[in-house]
Structures are given as C-alpha cells and as structure tokens.
Chain A
C-alpha cells in the first residue's frame, strides 16, 4: 500500500515506531571522514528523517547492525561462562537493494553453512525488518546491475525521499497498522537502477582453472595492495572474524570472549601458532578475495558473493578497483592465455 507522508508526519511515524524498534539508517558524522574536513556516512540510530543521509552511498555497510565489529560472546567470572545479552527491541534498517541482497549472503554463511546456526548472528538478524531506500541512480564505482543485486522485493517498506515528504510502499502488516487514515495514499512503487556506468562480466566457473591462480595478474596486486583490509571492512558480504579472549586489567579473574571482524587481506589472517601461514604476499590475498567473491562462494551456495556495491573501490587507499580486477580476470580467461 502506498502513502505520501510529509516529513513531520514521517517523523511522528518514526517516533511511534521507536517504541518498538531501534531505527538504523545511514547518518552523516561530521569531520569523521578519511581526510581532514570530510564527513563519514555510516549506520547509526536515528529519530528523525532529516538525520538520514540518502544522497550518497554509505561508506560502511549496514552489516554491523546484525554483525557488530566487536561482539562479546561470553563473559567470564573465573571459570564460569555467561552468554552476552542483546536488547529486546526489534530493528528497522533503512538500506539499499544491494545491501538487502548482501544480507542474504550473510544469512547464508551464518545460518546455513555448516551443521550449526550462528546463534549470535541469528538473535539480532531475526529482529530485522528492511526499509528499502529506493536507489534509482548509480553512484561512483557501483556495478550492482552486473551482479544482479540492483533489484529486490524483500522489504517491509520501501521509501523514496522527496523534498519535504516521503513516499512509502508498505508491505508489512505490523507497519501497515501505523499508517492511520489521515495519511494520503499514493500509488508509489519503487524504481531500481537499470544501468551502471561500470559493467562487468563475471566469468563462468568452468573456465576458471588452477593456472589462473598462478597468473601474473596477481603479482601486480602484490605490489599495489598494502594489506590494510579496508576493502574487507566496508564490504557488505565480508563476514570473517577472529575470536579473542581478554582479561580485565583491574581484575584478571574476570574477562570476556569476543569476536572481532577479520579480513583476508590483513596480516595474520592465516597465521598459526608454531609459525605456519599461507598467502604471505598481498597478491595472493587479492586472488583469494576475488575468487571468493566471484567464483568459489557461487560454487558452494549458487550465487555470487559480491553484490557490486563498489565500497571496496571507494575506500581503497591504493585505488585498486575490484570491478577492474573482475574485468581483467574475464579478459584473461577469454584470451585463454592463462594456460601458457
């Protein structure tokens, strides 16, 4: 059902919803950007529509809402394990179609891979409803259309922000009940990006051979990548973590077991006690990430991991472009010179 709400009315709606939901949306954090005098746009809790920055692509993805950067698994008192708790509110997230599609990749890893569900992910994820922010025009570095993630109808509500008002398409019954009679109906249905400036062709899995893994292409990245892992951190679908135990400084008998985001580009990702490690050069790490995003995840789960949001390109301090890397891989396979 479609509605047009003036911003004031939408804010009333948010106020009402906030009794039951935590509301997350991309927000502008002034002077918190990568360079001096620049802002950072990332996810945070909001109360008013004016706080939502829909004019740019958020620098970080919404994954941290369901998969926090640092998450306590257990609290320890001497040898007692006690599970961490979460808030009892539901969660409403404002996000774009690519990120909704990205959330399905996280669901797959945390809830479907292996014999057990990740209960720490599940307990936050099951609270979430999506408010899809209409995304009609591509941003810099986006290639969602090529990855098939420009479209989704998996949302509770879709919104279009206009000057002074918000158009809403409401599908969720609980949310629907918040839209009382005095709100004007409209026949709004969201539109989607139809074309990006950047287009990639993801190579067929059967064309990828072990020889590609050894190709000189990766040596170029060995020189350019500095292993900072920013691409991993901003990625909607990177889901790796490392477990850490800590003892509190003022009482070492108490402490926590935590998990913290990890990245395959970052040193120590494969290091084992005793000294063995794998993918020591940064080129191999680029190859590992690339293959995960456009090849082996698909082999395992039937869709590509990469959703083409391009945040990795936006953030890379070495101007490495992931879409360009996909193009290079495809070109090499087309020319067939990886078998040489």
Chain B
C-alpha cells in the first residue's frame, strides 16, 4: 500500500551501553531528525512494538535508553551491535527548545524521565551561551539506578546539577531524598524568565510541579512529558486518549496549563 504509516524501517545498532543492570542505551543508525522529547515506535518482528523516547540524536544516529520490563524489551536486551531494530516515527510534539533559549532553564528528571530530556541538556552543554542559566535536578531510586553517569559528570562542569537518590547505603556520599526536597535550593531570580521541564513517573511530576508552583513559577512556564500505553502512535488505537487529547498527537510534551486539565 502507498503511504502505509505502520511500516517500520530497519535501523542497525551501532553501540550498546549498559546504564544499569536493566537499562541499556542503544545507538542506532538513523537519518531521523527528531524534536527533543519525541518518541519512536520500536519493534522486533514477531515479538512486538512499543513507544520509546529518543534519548539523544545527532548526525546519522539516534539513541534510545530502554529498560528491560516486558516481552519486547526483554528481547531487545539480547541484541548486540550489528543487530537490527525496526523503527517508525518520530511521533508526537516535543519540547519547544527555541522557547527555552536565552532563559533560565530548570530541568527536573526522575529515573528514566532523564532519557527524553537528555538531548536538551546535551544541546545546551554544547551551546551553553544559548541559555541564561541552567539547573539540572536528577533523582533516582538508588545509586544502582543512576543513568548516564559519565554525562552527568560532564554536565556538572558547566551547569548547576543536583543528583539525588531516594535511598542508599552508607557508602553513598551524595544527596538522598526525593527530588521535591531540592526544588527549594534552586535560585530563581526572575520568574518571568524561567522555564521548568519536569519529566518522570506521574506522581513525581505531580509533586515536583506543585513545589515549583509554590516557589511562584507561573503554570505556563512548566512543561511535562506523559507516558501512556500506545499501540499505533498515530491517533487511531485510542489507548493514550485523555479527554479529547491524544497523547501521541498533542503530547507527549504538554505545558502544565494543559496537563493539569487532563484527567485519565
């Protein structure tokens, strides 16, 4: 059929990097030029297809960080460089990067929520003059769950970064506590010039948003990214619909003013 939007294309795996015991970053050959925060439908024939956010991209490649949590991702977990993944997309609306330029940008990411915002952080890492000030708050369950550690170390050289874990054994020298605890520590000089990006599990996004609102950040300056079950990613299958909004079409990135109206 002409223009079959469900046909995926083959993408060769170039590099496989273990982040934790169950999270792996796959760099694959691809000419896609996604927006930051968009996602692709990743599949293996005969196993299944799932929406996966793009954790970084550049000339000739995209990168996805995938957790081994289900039948498809268990199978992906066995793949090595040279093997193929199947992709279609990119889909959805990403973060409005242009709008963040020149502003005081704050990113708060919980767990795998760091993946869809990593390309933004790396963009401003490469172009630090394009942002007035940049704070990055990152929270993980435990030190063993930390993703992208080498990149986090690099970011710390240029930006004000805070890394925390919910709980850890005594030999952990870093911060402990939920991400919400550290919102108060961020210096915000001009509420009109700030943009806050919050991505993580639903409960983390809810309470972190509330902390920033308490600080006086206007709702329209807060951005979140939703994760929902999706089967088609093109507005047909109905799984991701909330009210009249299709997360695959109008999301996954939403301004808080929209996100707060969405009742599942």
Contacts and interface: CB of A to CB of B under 8 A. Distances in A.
Contacts of A274: 67, 69-70
B229 A269 contact: yes
Nearest to B68: A273
A118 interface: yes
Contacts of A241: 231-232, 236-238
Contact of A264 (B7, B238, B248, B263): B238
B228 A270 contact: yes
Contacts of A292: 241
B227 to A, nearest CB: 7
A242 to B, nearest CB: 5
A242 B244 contact: no
Contacts of A110: 236
Given A245-B49, A270-B264, A276 B243 contact: no
Contacts of B10: 79
A300 B70 contact: no
Contact of A245 (B3, B48, B237, B263): B48
A76 B238 contact: no
Interface string A119-159: 11101000000000000000000000000000000000000
A35 interface: no
B8 interface: yes
A278 interface: yes
Given A270-B228, A270-B264, A76 B70 contact: no
**Chain B at the A interface: SS class:** loop
B223 interface: no
Interface residues of A, number: 59
Contact of A210 (B44, B249, B263): B263
| Most B-side CB within 10 Å, residue of A80, A271, A273 | A273
A115 B93 CA distance: 12
Contacts of B2: 119
B131 to A, nearest CB: 31
Contacts of B235: 109, 113-115
Contacts of A254: 46
Contacts of B201: 276
Interface in B4-60: 4-8, 10, 43-50
A305 B49 CA distance: 29
A239 B236 contact: yes
B100 interface: no
A119 B1 CA distance: 7
Nearest to A73: B6
Given A113-B236, A240-B237, A119 B3 contact: yes
Contacts of B8: 81
B246 interface: yes
Interface residues of B, number: 46
Contact of A252 (B43, B46, B86, B231): B46
Contact of A117 (B3, B46, B84): B3
Given A114-B246, A210-B263, A270-B228, A257 B238 contact: no
A299 interface: yes
Contacts of B4: 83, 119
A63 B151 CA distance: 52
B231 A242 contact: yes
B244 A262 contact: no
Contacts, number: 138
B239 interface: yes
Contacts of A257: 43, 45, 49
A264 B228 CA distance: 14
Given A117-B3, A279-B264, A270 B45 contact: no
A273 B237 contact: no
Contact of A115 (B44, B84, B234): B234
B43 A116 contact: no
A276 B70 contact: no
A328 to B, nearest CB: 19
A110 B236 CA distance: 6
Interface in A258-298: 259, 262, 264, 269-279, 284, 288, 291-292, 296-297
B227 A83 contact: no
Nearest to B4: A119
28 contacts: A74-B6, A74-B45, A81-B7, A83-B1, A113-B235, A117-B3, A117-B5, A118-B5, A118-B236, A239-B238, A241-B238, A245-B45, A245-B47, A245-B49, A246-B46, A256-B46, A262-B231, A262-B237, A270-B239, A271-B229, A272-B227, A273-B50, A274-B69, A276-B201, A276-B202, A296-B241, A296-B243, A296-B244
Interface of A: 73-74, 76, 78-81, 83, 109-110, 113-121, 123, 210, 213, 239-247, 252-257, 259, 262, 264, 269-279, 284, 288, 291-292, 296-297, 299-300
List the 10 closest A-B pairs by CB distance, nearest first.
Answer: A114-B235, A273-B70, A240-B238, A255-B46, A116-B5, A296-B244, A278-B264, A300-B244, A76-B45, A247-B46
Given A113-B246, A114-B249, 15 more contacts: A116-B234, A119-B2, A119-B3, A119-B5, A240-B239, A243-B48, A244-B48, A245-B44, A247-B47, A255-B46, A257-B49, A273-B69, A284-B264, A296-B241, A300-B244
Interface of B: 1-8, 10, 43-50, 67, 69-70, 72-73, 84, 86, 201-202, 227-229, 231-232, 234-239, 241, 243-244, 246, 248-249, 261, 263-264
